[in-house]
Chains A and B, each alone.
Chain A
Amino acid sequence: MKAPLSWLKDYVDIDVTAEQLKDKLFSCGFEVEELIDIGKDISGVVVGEVTDCQPIEGTHLSKCKVDCGNKGIFQICCGADNVKTGIKAPCALVGATVYATGKDHVTVEGVVTIKKGKLRGVESEGMLCSGAELGVNGDMFEGGDYCGLLLLPTDSKNGEDVKHILGLDDYIFDIAVTANRPDCQSIYGIAREIAALLGKQVKAPDCTYKEVKGNCKDIEILNFAPDICPRYIGHYVTNVKISTSPAWLRKRLALCGLRSISNVVDITNFVLLELGQPMHAFDLRTLEGRKVVVRRAEKGETIVTLDGNKFELNSDNLVICDGQKPCALAGIMGGENSEIRDDTAEVLFEAAKFARDSVRKTARALGQHSDSSSLFEKGVNEYTTEMAMGRALNLIQTLGCGTVTTVHKDVTTKYSNLAEKKMVANLDKINALLGIKVPEAKAVDILKRLNFGVEKNGSELNITVPRYREDIDGYPDIAEEIIRFYGYDNIEGTFLPSASITNGGYSKAQKAEMRLKDTLVGKGLYEISTYSFISAKDLDMLHFPDDAEERRAIKILNPISEDLSLMRTTLAPSMINTAVRNLRRGNMEGKLFEIANVYLADELPVKNFPKERSKLCIGVWGKYGFFDLKGITECIAETLNTEFEYLPAQKIFLHPGITAKILCDGAEVGYIGMLSPEISNELALDRVIHIAELDYEELKKHERTFKFAPLPKFAEFTRDLALTCDRAVTCAEIQKEIFAACKYVSAVKLFDVYMSEQLGSSKKSMAFSVTFTPKDEQIDDKIDGYVKKILTNLKNKLDISLRN
């Protein structure tokens, strides 16, 4: 929301500096995001009168004598085509700063400091300026668009700084208005707050007008959509003469960044800026049957808006029609068919209230946004709607560009909000919410300054809410009004003196997750956090077939980009992308983990709340291989006080010979393996990536419990067995058979594997250390027998023998 200081001063006597005003607005909830000093780049430019002007032969230049009053008389060379004796123009003295313009004399290319110089051998002590060189266009100041000199009024005083004359001594407040204060989306709205801040009276814009009785045809307004158009006011103006707006009006629009179009259109834009109520003007002769119909569009109806865009409409779109066709997209933009033209003689002004979400939905659906739609989306109030019509008609009369007729149609509906809101607020309750005691007189004064009607009734206040304050609802709103003016500095920190004791901290499950993270960090892994989004490309990268479960991802309907368009069903793509990014940046080794959710829908497109399943993903690359990664997963099993079983498995994106599924108590909980060389190749990787992904939701069930197991009464025995077996036999198979052969075996640890020529190409040797734990009796003398049993079992089941 942009508010020029000069405009604000129309309504309130501002006797503080722009900086001070900025701070005051901040303290009451209006952050000035930027305070723009519009003349900050211009200095040292004064009124200069050309008292003598001689052409310099052979050039387009003139040698001028310029009288700058008390600054002196200077010789200045000038190339403008409108320079002549007797004119007054802005004169940039030596040392002045102005804008440098490009070849087109319009485009600003930076700021220059004027120096004494010589042009074609003729000395020049300054520069006569154009509008563009001072940052002034034709709307800001008459003649500002001309590429020659900007001509100043002949009664300007020679030597006077031009900034005041051109309005460059002004500031623009770019204010962030919170969503609850649509009433402050206007210059007048901000002025009301400033008046309350400074303790001054606000001067309301003149909204009075005289209706001229005469012989004029009536018009008809029908509203078939009262739910989304609670109020519609139309007023007929005749004898309209379309022309250019006066300078003051064009300047106001220019300061707020709007282009002047014509007097009638400018009036609607002026009212929009001044009061925050969008208005529209129809050329009445184009309205079939002198009729306005407010209705939902029919499917397939079309409209071409003022900016030449054509839209096909449906019943979600509210339109303003004449007897036959849509003439405006309600609250967004008028139609080309009914726009104000140079020969428009009859105008119908519209001031209406359209529902916020109706305007928003249509603007979004059609991709058509305007200052008007933006205001309607924030919300307008009917108090301002009424006021705006009066203001527009007042301006018609002030500008003398039309006759205000008696034809005034005000269509109210049951959705209209005409009544003043009255409420009771208890000061004790307000103080109890704030935790301080605001003096009663102070509280009442603040509310009165903000135009609340206040009547005291014991500790209760009977409050009448200003009609433009639709945000005020209950006593906490009143408390907020009071404290934001009384000052938040008065809030002193206290520490829940009356609150009850509550128990805090992480839950058991949250603690378990932290313990797991502790373990992984202790093992040298870095934790990462990646986006929950993936793309179809990521799934392609990992070669998932079309029918893979991983492809059943929930789509975001409005993603930022295709790369971030799916909710991930696996953490693997994110982890692999992270490893690849690291490798490409020269981080040649790494161990990472992430605990995050995957999102699994029971049906697609998603209808019900999907499952959010917590997964743990680990990725290692560079010097770290399969067994480094498996060491980490074994560590996880230990932390969870459980054991994992690893079985050879296949996974589409992993090496077929270096992949295992991980089981816990017989249930599959994840996988571990090497990224397939094919994919590595496609990604042009020169290092190997290994990855494991575990279903943390499942693992969580294995919470660690501690229970003391009595120490064995008898000593344990350990025997080492070096075995020879077929290469295909796995370590797990052998371990299983050793356990199976003797109930006293409590641990079987592999400590060596080797292959050699001697053993032959089909054989390998594996050495195990087997621990026997006695239960109720000594087994010293039985160990040899057990070993024999184990060896027999191995021989029978797996054809394994003791190595010679």
Chain B
Amino acid sequence: MQEKINEIERQIDETVKDVKSSRSLQEIKQKFLGRTGKISELMKNMRDVPPEQRPSMGKVLNALRIWAEEKFGALEAALKEAELKKKYEVEKIDVTLPGKFTPGGAYHPNTLVKNELVSIFSGMGFEVFEGPEIENDYYNFTALNTPADHPARDMQDTFYLSKDLLLRTQTSAGQIRYMENKKPPLKVLSPGKVYRSDDDATHSPMFSQMEGLVVDKGITLCDLKGMLDEFAKKVFGNSVKTRLRPSYFPFTEPSVEVDVSCSECGGKGCRLCKGTGWIEVLGAGMVNRRVLEICGIDPDIYTGFAFGMGIERIAMLKYGINNMKFLFEGDTRLLKQFKA
């Protein structure tokens, strides 16, 4: 019996010596430790051993089994580890190769600005209303307190399509249409294209405006200032200040220009703000009583304010675009810089 045990030990040592893979090791293990393996056979042969020797033989056999199991276990672990290492080596990739990628598109800078403005003001309760681009004299001028002989008509060079029809010079025109149909309290934002006969680096015959209007009881100039402070902070940053200064628009009284402190130099004066520390961003004012009357709103009960800004101008300031024409050229090299 002992001989058989020794023989098995020798055979195990011999056969595992050249094993290369965990799979062949598994086969060898089966031959010895499997149900019909050699060690199992020896265990079965214990029936033939005289009873008095069984305990000691049992011990020896058991020791053999434990020894074999440990031997195979250790070998298997080593082989598996080597195999895994090899697998990793083979599967290794060049992670710097480019990803499978569909390049994204981009919104026009005007859309980015428009959406930002709409999201700021809609949070304050403003509805968005878009009027027609082709207006008549009444909505673009007369109803905005600019009758035919008014010198303010010269402030804007208007494109005419007929004696009465014209390309709107301001989105305020749409606000008259809005006020005709709705009663206060009103908060409305009118974005859209407007047209003026101007063409240079900071003017374009077509550009976009965003006009805001609030009409309610007890609205004051301080409310206008408060709202525009909030707007300026959200668009240009928290440290930005606003400044009102007197101006003139036929449809507001008092009228103001609104400047924001230069975000580039913080108000010290630089090229962007032409050394003044301030940048003009919009025109505003308290809605002229006559405009309210024309729209059927009693100016003794309601007051309101309006403000209007050029979307391209905001985009140019925000993104540092130095020529308005670039915004209408559709050059992909410019557009791809505005990936959303």
Q: Which residues of A contact B (CB under 8 A)?
A: 26-29, 178-182, 355-357, 360, 377-379, 432-436, 474, 476-477, 479-480, 483-484, 488, 491-507, 510, 514, 517, 520-533, 554-560, 564, 567, 578, 581-582, 585, 587, 590-592, 597, 599, 605-607, 609-610, 612
Is there an interface contact between A517 and B148, defined as CB atoms closer than 8 Å?
Answer: no
Is there an interface contact between B254 and A484, defined as CB atoms closer than 8 Å?
Answer: yes
Is there an interface contact between B115 and A514, defined as CB atoms closer than 8 Å?
Answer: yes
Is there an interface contact between A504 and B161, defined as CB atoms closer than 8 Å?
Answer: no
**Within the assembled complex, what's the spacing in Å between the Cα atoms of A591 and B102?**
12
Residues of A within 8 A of B167 (CB): 532, 556
Instruction: From known contacts A499-B214, A501-B125, infer whether A357 and B162 are also in contact, taking CB-CB under 8 Å.
Output: no
Residue of A480, A510, A529 with most partner-chain B CB within 10 A:
A529
Residues of A within 8 A of B118 (CB): 505-506
**Within the assembled complex, what's the spacing in Å between the Cα atoms of A500 and B288?**
21
Is there an interface contact between B110 and A529, defined as CB atoms closer than 8 Å?
Answer: yes
Residues of A within 8 A of B103 (CB): 524
A-B contact pairs, 20 of them (CB 8 A): A178-B248, A377-B151, A435-B222, A435-B223, A480-B253, A494-B220, A500-B216, A504-B123, A505-B127, A506-B118, A506-B122, A510-B128, A523-B102, A529-B208, A531-B205, A531-B206, A533-B206, A557-B161, A560-B197, A567-B161
Is there an interface contact between A527 and B106, defined as CB atoms closer than 8 Å?
Answer: yes
Is there an interface contact between B330 and A592, defined as CB atoms closer than 8 Å?
Answer: yes
B84 within 8 A of A: no
Instruction: From known contacts A29-B246, A499-B216, A506-B122, infer whether A521 and B105 are also in contact, taking CB-CB under 8 Å.
Output: yes
**Within the assembled complex, what's the spacing in Å between the Cα atoms of A529 and B124?**
28
Is there an interface contact between B221 and A483, defined as CB atoms closer than 8 Å?
Answer: yes
Is there an interface contact between A557 and B134, defined as CB atoms closer than 8 Å?
Answer: no
A contact face: mostly helix, strand, loop, or mixed? loop
Is there an interface contact between B134 and A609, defined as CB atoms closer than 8 Å?
Answer: yes
B108 within 8 A of A: yes
B303 within 8 A of A: yes
**Within the assembled complex, what's the spacing in Å between the Cα atoms of A554 and B160?**
10
Cβ < 8 Å to A, chain B residues 117-165: 118, 121-128, 130, 132-134, 136, 148-152, 154-155, 159-162, 165
**Within the assembled complex, what's the spacing in Å between the Cα atoms of A379 and B151?**
8
Residues of B within 8 A of A597 (CB): 133
Is there an interface contact between A495 and B226, defined as CB atoms closer than 8 Å?
Answer: yes
B247 within 8 A of A: yes
A30: shortest Cβ distance to chain B, in Å? 9
Task: Identify 14 new A-B residue pairs, CB closer than 8 A, beyond the known A357-B148, A493-B229, A498-B218.
Answer: A181-B248, A355-B149, A377-B151, A432-B218, A476-B286, A488-B246, A496-B214, A496-B223, A502-B187, A503-B127, A521-B340, A558-B160, A578-B329, A587-B333
Is there an interface contact between A591 and B223, defined as CB atoms closer than 8 Å?
Answer: no
Residues of A within 8 A of B115 (CB): 514
Is there an interface contact between B248 and A180, defined as CB atoms closer than 8 Å?
Answer: yes
> Residues 12-38 of chain B: 1 if any A CB is under 8 Å from the residue's CB, otherwise 0?
000000000000000000000000000
Residues of A within 8 A of B149 (CB): 355-357, 360
Q: Which residue of A lies closest to B155 (CB)?
A: A179
B262: shortest Cβ distance to chain A, in Å? 16
Q: Which residue of A lies closest to B228 (CB)?
A: A493
Instruction: From known contacts A435-B223, A488-B244, A526-B105, infer whether A179 and B134 are also in contact, taking CB-CB under 8 Å.
Output: no
**Within the assembled complex, what's the spacing in Å between the Cα atoms of A507 and B118?**
12
Is there an interface contact between A533 and B245, defined as CB atoms closer than 8 Å?
Answer: no
Ranked 6 nearest A-B pairs via Cβ: A435-B220, A435-B222, A29-B246, A493-B226, A178-B248, A480-B254
Q: Which residue of A lies closest to B129 (CB)?
A: A507
Is there an interface contact between A529 and B108, defined as CB atoms closer than 8 Å?
Answer: yes
A229: shortest Cβ distance to chain B, in Å? 14
Taking a contact as CB atoms closer than 8 A, the residue among A178, A524, A557, A607 that contacts B104 in the complex is A524
B294 within 8 A of A: no
> Residues 242-284 of chain B: 1 if any A CB is under 8 Å from the residue's CB, otherwise 0?
0111111010011110000000000000000000000000000
Residues of A within 8 A of B54 (CB): none
Is there an interface contact between B247 and A179, defined as CB atoms closer than 8 Å?
Answer: no
B186 within 8 A of A: yes
Is there an interface contact between A179 and B244, defined as CB atoms closer than 8 Å?
Answer: no
Is there an interface contact between A491 and B221, defined as CB atoms closer than 8 Å?
Answer: yes
Residues of A within 8 A of B195 (CB): 532
B193 within 8 A of A: yes
**Within the assembled complex, what's the spacing in Å between the Cα atoms of A564 and B206?**
10
B65 within 8 A of A: no
Residues of A within 8 A of B327 (CB): 529
B175: shortest Cβ distance to chain A, in Å? 15
B123: shortest Cβ distance to chain A, in Å? 7
Is there an interface contact between A524 and B220, defined as CB atoms closer than 8 Å?
Answer: no
Is there an interface contact between B222 and A436, defined as CB atoms closer than 8 Å?
Answer: yes
B67 within 8 A of A: no
